[in-house]
Chain A
């Protein structure tokens, strides 16, 4: 008896596409669909969402017959520090201001590597902040507030 093997990578991949397709399809249904002559805002996205769901299903079906291949190592540490560093910058750049937000962003991101020491990260972030303020605020004149209202400025 031949056992059925599933390529988990492809199955997951197909599932992601199907989920995105369903999300866009449901959202499109709330919009005016219109006719082919006068397409409403929902027409084109609904068609695309349908195609995406179909393609996702094909990928899932193909996953049942293709050979299994692993996804390889995953950068958990990277995900844990890199992604929040961007979000942190977004949340604090107005409140704290450019200087502290940038320093913290670089500092948080630094720890995505297991080789970074806290001292090194602090030095690097400080240097980077000084450089960026010089280049972006003074050199290019971008309208950033160096220190924000949260710090009493």
Chain B
């Protein structure tokens, strides 16, 4: 019954007029960004962080969360209409969704994607509500050694889920960890790696690094080969799926939701992998696998549900442990810290209204998306006709304002340029940026907990394997690492990511 009490608290918080308003703004902005290809949710949230400074903590987090899952919805619209993923997680939707659109069934494809996402969002929001409280109880038992081991698991999983070479992903994590250590050492107060620049004494600004590595690098990539986008359909009709469509979409939606919910918890971009996994599963179990690639309804319904479910459940590690599962969640950590909230297991007990308000707002946000987006589809289609060369100067300007407003530190803008260059160079050298950012966020936490654990154990490193929870976590990390390095799995993994490109 505690669950209902908590949910009631959450809904009363989330349904205050102000919070409903910010949730609406969030999902609208998110959809807008999702629809526009070439600007991801990570860069958007980084850009929009300053808008949330003046808000209440609950409102600001509700809005940021809305941007995130709104972007998932918007991404599928672009995927279906112009065969180009607005968000990386909707890349799979483009395969069958675009084919449906070519057959004149764009309206049905959009509706299926929206309804599937709504179903997945509802179920996974409920899962977050059910699983978050017991997990926070476990997390409260965690000491420094457990936190260290848990972060190792997170970092290792982010490597497993990154596409491309594992060694490179590992190197990206380590580089990220090192970059995260820039700034004043917490124990001795010694400045580290600041090159004598006083402005970096508090460390490199996370928003600057995120905007550089994701935002700027993405703009540069889009500028490589400027292509004209052709919008297939200018007017979408026939939104309502037929009874036959409903019958065909039901099972894939349920399977997609399960896959997405499970994979979303894993660190390192669960939503993207969830969509691919769901597509593979649907193709396997389908009685008519030859339909896939030619407008199969299951090929839209499954992955769309999976990526939305994954987006929701990736809040679980953030809300319970304070550990971000992907770069967007890392930005949420940043937002919480700016608001004076230390993310971790204490949030649920100390700020129940905030904790449950965010969870309830996810469901409300999903409802808004279904109700608003299907009628607004005409507007989103119009947006697709805006040429990219008009968009990116706008993105640049907002990124600059966003980064500067965090600390009013002009050196943060130089960091943006540096990390934009570095991010672009590393992407060109086929390195995935997500592990770097995750390493960057976890670097200081990892070091702090390592040092604390070592002091507590009087310099005995066996503390990590003699404490049961810590030992289990390290064992999980080891298994994950061994599994991804196994030749057979490696071949399979490359196959999965092959489809992505």
List A residues at the B interface (Cβ < 8 Å): 9-10, 12-13, 16-17, 20, 24, 27-28, 31-32, 35-45, 48-49, 51-52, 55-56, 58-59, 62, 69, 71-75, 77-79, 82-87, 89-91, 93-94, 102, 105-107, 109-110, 112-116, 120-121, 124-125, 128-129, 132, 136, 140-144
One of B287-295, B374-382, B447-455, B487-495 at the interface:
B447-455
Q: What are 30 residue pairs bridging A and B, where the CB atoms are less than 8 Å apart in the complex?
A: A9-B428, A9-B430, A10-B165, A13-B429, A13-B430, A24-B193, A31-B190, A32-B188, A35-B459, A36-B461, A37-B459, A41-B192, A44-B181, A44-B447, A45-B178, A45-B193, A52-B178, A73-B224, A77-B223, A79-B424, A83-B420, A86-B216, A86-B396, A90-B410, A90-B411, A91-B410, A93-B404, A105-B397, A113-B226, A136-B405
Task: Point out the residues of chain B lying under 8 angstroms from A114, CB to CB.
Answer: 226
Tell me which of A42, A84, A94, A124 contacts B393 (CB under 8 A).
A124
One of B113-121, B128-136, B167-175, B305-313 at the interface:
B167-175
Q: Binding site of B, secondary structure by majority: helix, strand, loop or mixed? A: helix
Tell me which of B54, B171, B413, B451 contacts A52 (CB under 8 A).
B171
| Interchain residue pairs A-B with the least CB separation, the first 7 | A37-B459, A90-B413, A41-B185, A113-B389, A78-B223, A13-B429, A109-B396
Shortest CB–CB separation between residue A17 and chain B, in angstroms?
5
B210 interfacial contact with A, CB 8 Å: no
List which B375-427 residues lie within 8 A (CB) of chain A. 387-390, 392-394, 396-401, 403-405, 408, 410-414, 416-417, 420-421, 424-426
When C-beta atoms are compared, the residue in chain B nearest to A95 turns out to be B410
B50 interfacial contact with A, CB 8 Å: yes
Asked if A20 and B428 make an inter-chain contact with CB atoms under 8 angstroms apart, the answer reads: no
Asked if B167 and A75 make an inter-chain contact with CB atoms under 8 angstroms apart, the answer reads: no
Asked if A89 and B413 make an inter-chain contact with CB atoms under 8 angstroms apart, the answer reads: yes
Task: Point out the residues of chain A lying under 8 angstroms from B420, CB to CB.
Answer: 82-83, 86
Task: Point out the residues of chain A lying under 8 angstroms from B430, CB to CB.
Answer: 9-10, 13, 69
Asked if B171 and A17 make an inter-chain contact with CB atoms under 8 angstroms apart, the answer reads: yes
Task: Point out the residues of chain A lying under 8 angstroms from B408, CB to CB.
Answer: 143
Shortest CB–CB separation between residue B166 and chain A, in angstroms?
10
Asked if A78 and B220 make an inter-chain contact with CB atoms under 8 angstroms apart, the answer reads: yes
When C-beta atoms are compared, the residue in chain B nearest to A89 turns out to be B400
When C-beta atoms are compared, the residue in chain B nearest to A90 turns out to be B413
Shortest CB–CB separation between residue B412 and chain A, in angstroms?
7
List which B426-473 residues lie within 8 A (CB) of chain A. 426, 428-431, 447, 450-451, 454-455, 458-459, 461
Tell me which of B51, B171, B405 contacts A55 (CB under 8 A).
B171
Shortest CB–CB separation between residue B485 and chain A, in angstroms?
13
B111 interfacial contact with A, CB 8 Å: no
Asked if B216 and A106 make an inter-chain contact with CB atoms under 8 angstroms apart, the answer reads: no
Task: Point out the residues of chain A lying under 8 angstroms from B459, CB to CB.
Answer: 35-38
Asked if A128 and B394 make an inter-chain contact with CB atoms under 8 angstroms apart, the answer reads: yes
Shortest CB–CB separation between residue A91 and chain B, in angstroms?
7
Asked if A83 and B428 make an inter-chain contact with CB atoms under 8 angstroms apart, the answer reads: no
List which B51-91 residues lie within 8 A (CB) of chain A. 51, 53-54
Most chain B beta carbons < 10 A, residue from A44, A74, A91: A44
Asked if B410 and A109 make an inter-chain contact with CB atoms under 8 angstroms apart, the answer reads: no
Shortest CB–CB separation between residue A74 and chain B, in angstroms?
7
B340 interfacial contact with A, CB 8 Å: no
Shortest CB–CB separation between residue A85 and chain B, in angstroms?
6
Asked if A72 and B429 make an inter-chain contact with CB atoms under 8 angstroms apart, the answer reads: no
Shortest CB–CB separation between residue A146 and chain B, in angstroms?
13
Q: A45-B178, A109-B397 are in contact. Are A142 and B429 (CB under 8 A)?
A: no
Task: Point out the residues of chain B lying under 8 angstroms from A12, CB to CB.
Answer: 429
Shortest CB–CB separation between residue A140 and chain B, in angstroms?
6
Asked if B389 and A78 make an inter-chain contact with CB atoms under 8 angstroms apart, the answer reads: no
Asked if B190 and A83 make an inter-chain contact with CB atoms under 8 angstroms apart, the answer reads: no
Asked if A141 and B193 make an inter-chain contact with CB atoms under 8 angstroms apart, the answer reads: no
Task: Point out the residues of chain B lying under 8 angstroms from A109, CB to CB.
Answer: 392-393, 396-397
Asked if A39 and B225 make an inter-chain contact with CB atoms under 8 angstroms apart, the answer reads: no
B177 interfacial contact with A, CB 8 Å: yes
Q: A9-B429, A86-B413 are in contact. Are A128 and B226 (CB under 8 A)?
A: no
Asked if B414 and A59 make an inter-chain contact with CB atoms under 8 angstroms apart, the answer reads: no
Asked if A20 and B396 make an inter-chain contact with CB atoms under 8 angstroms apart, the answer reads: no
Tell me which of A10, A107, A136, A140 contacts B429 (CB under 8 A).
A10
B229 interfacial contact with A, CB 8 Å: no
What separation, in Å, do the CA atoms of A4 and B216 have in the docked complex? 36
Q: A10-B429, A13-B431, A136-B50 are in contact. Are A72 and B224 (CB under 8 A)?
A: yes
Asked if B224 and A20 make an inter-chain contact with CB atoms under 8 angstroms apart, the answer reads: no
What separation, in Å, do the CA atoms of A9 and B123 have in the docked complex? 44
Asked if A52 and B421 make an inter-chain contact with CB atoms under 8 angstroms apart, the answer reads: no
When C-beta atoms are compared, the residue in chain A nearest to B451 turns out to be A39
Asked if A31 and B192 make an inter-chain contact with CB atoms under 8 angstroms apart, the answer reads: yes
Q: A36-B461, A38-B459, A58-B167 are in contact. Are A75 and B393 (CB under 8 A)?
A: no
Asked if B400 and A85 make an inter-chain contact with CB atoms under 8 angstroms apart, the answer reads: yes
What separation, in Å, do the CA atoms of A83 and B423 have in the docked complex? 12
Asked if A52 and B404 make an inter-chain contact with CB atoms under 8 angstroms apart, the answer reads: no
Tell me which of A17, A48, A129 contacts B177 (CB under 8 A).
A48
What separation, in Å, do the CA atoms of A132 and B400 have in the docked complex? 11
What separation, in Å, do the CA atoms of A115 and B426 have in the docked complex? 27
Shortest CB–CB separation between residue B227 and chain A, in angstroms?
11
Task: Point out the residues of chain A lying under 8 angstroms from B429, CB to CB.
Answer: 9-10, 12-13, 16, 71
Asked if B390 and A124 make an inter-chain contact with CB atoms under 8 angstroms apart, the answer reads: yes
Shortest CB–CB separation between residue A70 and chain B, in angstroms?
10
When C-beta atoms are compared, the residue in chain A nearest to B388 turns out to be A113
Shortest CB–CB separation between residue B26 and chain A, in angstroms?
15
Asked if A141 and B54 make an inter-chain contact with CB atoms under 8 angstroms apart, the answer reads: yes
Asked if B451 and A44 make an inter-chain contact with CB atoms under 8 angstroms apart, the answer reads: yes
Shortest CB–CB separation between residue A11 and chain B, in angstroms?
10
Asked if A82 and B396 make an inter-chain contact with CB atoms under 8 angstroms apart, the answer reads: yes
What separation, in Å, do the CA atoms of A59 and B431 have in the docked complex? 12
Q: A41-B190, A59-B168, A140-B50 are in contact. Are A86 and B400 (CB under 8 A)?
A: yes
